[in-house]
């Protein structure tokens, strides 16, 4: 029997603190720290977590009873509670919100492991093809379901198949009646970690061995440590992770491998499963039942190795030895809704608490991690050579200022790129064309000389606001009215630049009618397996030209690709974000890594209006260190991370006036307070957000910079009592990756 009479409860509501409740006798056996409970809050009954037990009566007017303790064995360990508390403090979000992030929703709902209904072919390929021809006209959706199954080469979950083919359940029933397919039960374990045959580890190269030794030493010493493993793509980082994980597992410790969402492919998972038993996968694409069963496999100690995207950092491993963060520079590690955490940083928080080792891996580390390795906070180690000594591809930069179609403005494809495309394609080789379309906002530029309107104080491209006809700096709110003609070459009319993958595809179909392009972007890749399918089509050579956004920038290995064209290196470069150069460099380096994977070698063509820009030049020269030196100087001069800490406060509401007022009010209070605790806070703005209106909501930005996050968050805690007032909501984003 639990002798404590009161429970401290964190509820899932925007409250800054925990609440106390009395424990009725009937529940005193069940209640434990970390258990999920139901408690009254005002007139409602809300869910929450017990985070403490005490016998001291709290000083409150009226104390209410805990209503229910949920059993089912689901509870959060104390370590997890501490981690969520730290997250709540660092990212300035309610503790309850941080706790909610830790448990996947299928787990919270207590889903029992369910079997998934699936469908598979029971006739051979020839018979199916004959049927397909018949069905195509009469029942196109049934035909599409058949071809999807044929494509997949294995059974498919019902839900997924009907999503992909838009075939109704009745249609699928019909296929079964015609004895083309059969229904069966797909059990989650089967799909994910069957006892696959194991492959032995490689004999490491001397560089790999050195990297592994450093990690091993830390693992054997026990205790917290961070290693930054920098190695170009194909240099054998994953093999180092695998052998480090082996050591952790041998010691009886668990390991987590975080990979960016897009890299979490069956091939990646297989590499781990072919080395270890008990590999669990945590991924939001999993069906709820699968997610639930994987999570419990980890919680119950049946899986020691977890591989997953961002939220896998919270995997419920009992004894954690190692966390690997692959492609640690990836911005998708930052979660864009509350608690707005960065998985790499949370990995480090968790490892520090649990005495584990973190390995950060990347070809192009974030400036933050690179700087930490420079200053000795992390241990840095590099892999300089690709396995098999395959050379990096030759990169050429094409200056788009010279690329005009007479009377039709700038070409999409430079003459040089077009020439190389013809050359490669005619030899039966393949081409990748890359365009990052995320540069949503047109910026003011000169079509002839490439001049881009920038803020004199922030070195950030100004964004054109059509409504007011001004060009605005989104950091300091300085604005200028854009000149009619280019001030640099005093000739051409300025225009704004905007093109997308769709337009490229159209152009390719026109210029290269004899070849088949395949386009991959968020518009064309909706289904769960559409990635896989597109890649397979390309791999088999059924399409010769792959056009895509950052979705295609990484991880893939197509030996027959001898040419990679970057349609515009400028889209990210001109984003109103201090990380624009860093992201440009990373993206170009990664895209370039797609070329020359096979014995035929490869070539990369980068098209740009800024061919002398240092991020582009450095990427073309495969010179990370040169880039990093230069970029660090710039960051230091302006106090951006890693030299300063930055917090964004976004104000959002229907009435522009009220939004502005609230933003100004906070800015003024913070300016007055700045220096109170001996820590200066630089207040930049407020200014309208780059996207100043979304769904009829006005948005304003306030940027805060200081030497430490604590300085800013402490100040914010004092001023932002009312998260929503007068119809204006404030959203605090610590270390923001999205300034829009
Ligand atoms: P990265 O993760 O840095 O991109 P990988 O670990 O995927 O690199 O290695 C690239 C390729 O080289 C893979 O096919 C891998 O199996 C192979 N490889 C890695 N290490 C070795 C080694 N020591 N000897 C032989 N092949 C290796
Ligand atoms: Zn500015």
* Three-state DSSP string of 117-155: EEEEECCCHHHHHHHHHHHHHHCHHHHHHHHHHHHHCCC
Is the CB of 75 inside a 6 Å radius of any atom of ligand 1? no
2 alpha carbon – ligand 2 mean position (Å): 60
Is the CB of 447 inside a 6 Å radius of any atom of ligand 1? no
Of the bound ligands, which one is closest to the alpha carbon of residue 257?
1
Is the CB of 239 inside a 6 Å radius of any atom of ligand 1? yes
pLDDT of residue 224: 95
Query: Tens of pLDDT along 393-419?
Result: 889 999 988 776 655 566 788 899 999
pLDDT of residue 465: 63
210-224 in b/e form (b: 16+ CB < 10 A) is ebbebbbebbeeeeb
Confidence band for 721, pLDDT divided at 50, 70 and 90: low
Closest atom of ligand 1 relative to the 387 alpha carbon: 12
Q: Which CATH class is domain 390-438+500-634?
A: alpha beta
Lowest mean pLDDT across 421-425, 453-457, 512-516: 453-457
What is the mean predicted confidence (pLDDT) over 438-460?
64
What is the mean predicted confidence (pLDDT) over 80-108?
87
Checking if the pLDDT of 476 tops 70, the result is: no
Report whether 215 contacts 208 (CB < 8 A).
Answer: no
Domain 645-734: CATH superfamily, name plus number: Ribosomal protein S10 (3.30.70.600)
Closest atom of ligand 1 relative to the 203 alpha carbon: 23
User: What CA–CA distance (Å, rounded) separates 681 from 232?
Assistant: 38
Query: Tens of pLDDT along 15-31?
Result: 767 889 999 888 888 88
pLDDT of residue 167: 85
Of the bound ligands, which one is closest to the alpha carbon of residue 240?
1
Tokens 């964190």 found at: 10
pLDDT of residue 149: 85
pLDDT of residue 694: 66
67 alpha carbon – ligand 2 mean position (Å): 54
Better pLDDT: 141 or 450? 141
Query: Tens of pLDDT along 556-599?
Result: 677 888 899 998 888 888 777 889 999 999 988 888 777 766 66
Highest mean pLDDT range out of 296-310, 311-325, 385-399? 311-325
Of the candidates 272, 286, 263, 168, the residue with the CA atom closest to the CA atom of residue 528: 286
- Fold classification of 6-108 is GIY-YIG endonuclease (3.40.1440)
Query: Tens of pLDDT along 222-259?
Result: 889 999 999 987 889 999 999 999 999 999 999 999 99
242 alpha carbon – ligand 1 mean position (Å): 11
Of the candidates 613, 648, 644, the residue with the CA atom closest to the CA atom of residue 475: 648
324 alpha carbon – ligand 1 mean position (Å): 16
Please provide the CATH number assigned to the domain covering 206-385. Answer: 3.40.50.300
650 alpha carbon – ligand 2 mean position (Å): 17
Mutation probe of ligand 1 site: the residue of 236, 269, 327 with most atoms within 8 A of C-beta = 236
What is the mean predicted confidence (pLDDT) over 165-176?
86
Is the CB of 372 inside a 6 Å radius of any atom of ligand 1? no
pLDDT of residue 195: 57
Query: Tens of pLDDT along 177-226?
Result: 888 888 887 665 544 454 566 788 899 999 999 999 999 999 999 889 99
CATH topology identical between 6-108 and 390-438+500-634: no
Report whether 66 contacts 27 (CB < 8 A).
Answer: yes
Confidence band for 491, pLDDT divided at 50, 70 and 90: low
pTM: 0.79
Of the bound ligands, which one is closest to the alpha carbon of residue 453?
2
Is the CB of 345 inside a 6 Å radius of any atom of ligand 1? no
Query: Tens of pLDDT along 117-161?
Result: 888 888 888 888 888 888 888 888 888 888 888 877 777 878 778
Lowest mean pLDDT across 119-123, 260-264, 701-705: 260-264
Query: Tens of pLDDT along 22-62?
Result: 998 888 888 888 888 889 988 888 888 899 888 877 776 77
pLDDT of residue 499: 55
What is the mean predicted confidence (pLDDT) over 536-564?
80
What is the mean predicted confidence (pLDDT) over 711-717?
83
For 70-118, the three-class secondary structure string (H helix, E strand, C coil) is CCCCCECCHHHHHHHHHHHHHCCCCHHHHHHHHCCHHHHCCCCCCCEEE
Of the candidates 77, 327, 295, the residue with the CA atom closest to the CA atom of residue 306: 295
494 alpha carbon – ligand 1 mean position (Å): 48
What is the mean predicted confidence (pLDDT) over 324-344?
93
Q: In what order do the strands lie in the sheet with 156-157?
A: 156-157, 116-121, 181-186
pLDDT of residue 626: 94
Burial degree of 1 (CB within 10 A; 0-12, 13-18, 19+) = exposed
Mean pLDDT of the chain: 83
Mutation probe of ligand 1 site: the residue of 201, 229, 239 with most atoms within 8 A of C-beta = 239
Neighbours of ion ligand 2 (CB under 5 A): 455, 457-458, 473, 475-476, 478
Highest mean pLDDT range out of 421-430, 548-557, 690-699? 421-430
Checking if the pLDDT of 498 tops 70, the result is: no
pLDDT of residue 656: 87
Is the CB of 204 inside a 6 Å radius of any atom of ligand 1? yes
Confidence band for 437, pLDDT divided at 50, 70 and 90: low
Report whether 98 contacts 76 (CB < 8 A).
Answer: no
What does the domain layout of the chain look like in residue ranges?
Answer: 6-108, 116-186, 206-385, 390-438+500-634, 442-497, 645-734
585 alpha carbon – ligand 1 mean position (Å): 24
Tokens 């030899």 found at: 427
Confidence band for 375, pLDDT divided at 50, 70 and 90: very high
Is the CB of 234 inside a 6 Å radius of any atom of ligand 1? yes
User: What CA–CA distance (Å, rounded) separates 60 from 387?
Assistant: 66
Checking if the pLDDT of 1 tops 60, the result is: no
What is the mean predicted confidence (pLDDT) over 257-273?
84
220 alpha carbon – ligand 1 mean position (Å): 25
Closest atom of ligand 1 relative to the 235 alpha carbon: 3
């Amino acid at each position: 029997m639990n002798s404590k009479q009161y429970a401290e409860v964190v509820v899932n509501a925007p409250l800054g603190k925990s609440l106390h409740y009395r424990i009725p006798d009937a529940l005193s056996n069940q209640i434990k720290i970390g258990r999920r409970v139901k408690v009254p809050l005002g007139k409602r009954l809300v869910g929450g977590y017990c985070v403490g037990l005490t016998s001291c009566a709290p000083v409150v007017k009226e104390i209410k009873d805990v209503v229910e303790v949920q059993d089912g064995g689901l509870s959060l360990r104390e370590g997890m509670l501490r981690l969520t508390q730290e997250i709540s403090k660092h990212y300035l979000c309610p503790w309850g919100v941080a706790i909610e992030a830790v448990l996947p929703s299928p787990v919270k709902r207590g889903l029992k492991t369910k079997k998934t209904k699936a469908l598979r072919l029971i006739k051979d390929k020839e018979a199916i093809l004959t049927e397909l021809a018949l069905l195509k006209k009469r029942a196109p959706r049934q035909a599409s379901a058949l071809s999807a199954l044929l494509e997949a080469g294995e059974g498919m979950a019902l839900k997924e198949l009907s999503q992909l083919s838009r075939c109704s359940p009745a249609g699928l029933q019909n296929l079964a009646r015609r004895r083309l397919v059969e229904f069966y039960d797909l059990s989650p374990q089967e799909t994910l970690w069957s006892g696959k045959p194991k492959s032995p580890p490689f004999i490491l190269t001397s560089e790999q061995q050195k990297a592994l030794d450093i990690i091993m030493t830390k693992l054997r010493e026990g205790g917290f440590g961070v290693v930054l493993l920098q190695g170009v793509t194909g240099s054998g980082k994953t093999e180092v992770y695998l052998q480090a994980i082996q050591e952790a597992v041998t010691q009886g410790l668990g390991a987590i491998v975080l990979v960016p969402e897009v890299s979490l492919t069956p091939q990646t998972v297989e590499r781990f499963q072919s080395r270890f038993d008990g590999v669990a996968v945590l991924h939001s694409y999993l069906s709820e039942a699968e997610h639930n069963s994987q999570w419990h496999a980890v919680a119950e100690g049946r899986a020691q190795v977890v591989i997953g995207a961002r939220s896998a950092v919270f995997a419920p491993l009992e004894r954690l030895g190692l966390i690997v963060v692959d492609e640690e520079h990836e911005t998708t590690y930052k979660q864009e809704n509350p608690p707005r955490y960065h998985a790499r940083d949370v990995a480090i928080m968790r490892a520090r608490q649990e005495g584990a080792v973190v390995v950060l891996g990347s070809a192009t580390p974030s400036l933050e991690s690179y700087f930490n390795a420079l200053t000795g906070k992390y241990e840095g180690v590099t892999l300089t050579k690709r396995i098999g000594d395959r050379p990096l591809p030759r990169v050429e930069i094409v200056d788009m200022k010279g690329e005009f179609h007479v009377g039709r403005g700038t070409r999409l494809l430079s003459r040089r790129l077009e020439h190389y495309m013809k050359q490669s394609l005619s030899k039966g080789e393949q081409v990748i064309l890359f365009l990052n379309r995320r540069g949503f906002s047109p910026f003011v530029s000169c079509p002839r000389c490439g001049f881009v309107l920038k803020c004199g104080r922030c070195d950030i491209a100004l964004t054109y606001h059509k409504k007011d006809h001004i060009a605005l700096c989104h950091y300091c709110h300085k604005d200028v009215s854009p000149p009619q003609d280019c001030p640099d070459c005093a000739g051409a009319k300025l225009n704004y630049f905007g093109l997308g993958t769709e337009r490229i595809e159209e152009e390719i179909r026109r210029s290269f009618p004899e070849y088949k392009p395949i386009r991959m972007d968020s518009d064309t890749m909706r289904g769960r397996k559409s990635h896989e399918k597109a890649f397979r089509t390309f791999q088999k050579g059924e399409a010769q030209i792959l056009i895509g956004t950052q979705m295609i920038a990484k991880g893939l290995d197509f030996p027959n690709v001898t040419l990679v064209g970057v349609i515009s290196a400028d889209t990210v470069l001109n984003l109103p974000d201090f990380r624009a150069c860093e992201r440009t460099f990373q993206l170009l380096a990664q895209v370039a890594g797609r070329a020359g994977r096979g014995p035929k070698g490869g070539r990369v063509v980068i098209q740009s209006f800024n061919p002398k820009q240092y991020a582009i030049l450095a990427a073309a020269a495969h010179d990370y260190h040169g880039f990093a030196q230069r970029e660090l100087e710039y960051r230091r001069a302006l106090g951006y991370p890693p030299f300063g800490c930055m917090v964004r406060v976004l104000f959002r509401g229907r009435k522009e006036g009220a939004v502005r007022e609230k933003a100004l009010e906070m800015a003024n209070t913070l300016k007055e307070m700045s220096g109170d605790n001996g820590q200066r806070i630089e207040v930049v703005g407020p200014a309208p957000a780059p996207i100043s209106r979304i769904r009829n909501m006005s948005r304003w930005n306030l940027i805060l910079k200081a030497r430490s996050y604590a300085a800013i968050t402490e100040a914010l805690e004092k001023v932002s009592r009312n998260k929503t007032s007068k119809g204006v909501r404030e959203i605090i984003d610590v270390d923001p990756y999205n300034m829009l």
